Amino acid sequence: MPELTFRLRWPDAAETVNYSPSTIIKNHFSSGESYEMAEFLHRSRRALAAASARVEAAYGYPCSRAQATLAAIETRAAQFSAQQIITVIEITP
């Protein structure tokens, strides 16, 4: 299954690199696009759940790394308001 990473710039200008076990993340985000935090969280939940489901369909178990990525995003996002902006800097490869 093709993995990828996506780099985020948070409202406090910090950057993080996040993991997805599937390219399906590209259906939910675009490199260079900015989102309000609430929308970003909504898309993250859908994207990483779909990515984990692809792993489960292929291997018989959900992707714990996708679940951990979502947990880390949700924890970090709790520091910001729903209207603050987050940017997807890049999606690689």
Q: How far apart are CA 93 and CA 90, in angstroms?
A: 9
pTM, to two decimals? 0.93
Average pLDDT, the chain: 97
pLDDT value for 47: 98
Instruction: Check pLDDT > 80 for residue 12.
Output: yes
Of the candidates 73, 63, 71, the one whose C-alpha atom is nearest the C-alpha of residue 29 is 73
Q: Is 75 helix (H, G, I), strand (E, B) or coil?
A: helix
Structure tokens, 40:
């970003």
pLDDT digits (tens, 9 = 90+) for 44-91: 999 999 999 999 999 999 999 999 999 999 999 999 999 999 999 999
> What is the amino acid identity at position 38?
A
| CA-atom Rg of the chain in angstroms | 13
The whole-angstrom separation of Cα 91 and Cα 93 is 6
Q: How confident is the model at residue 2 (pLDDT cuts 50, 70, 90)?
A: confident
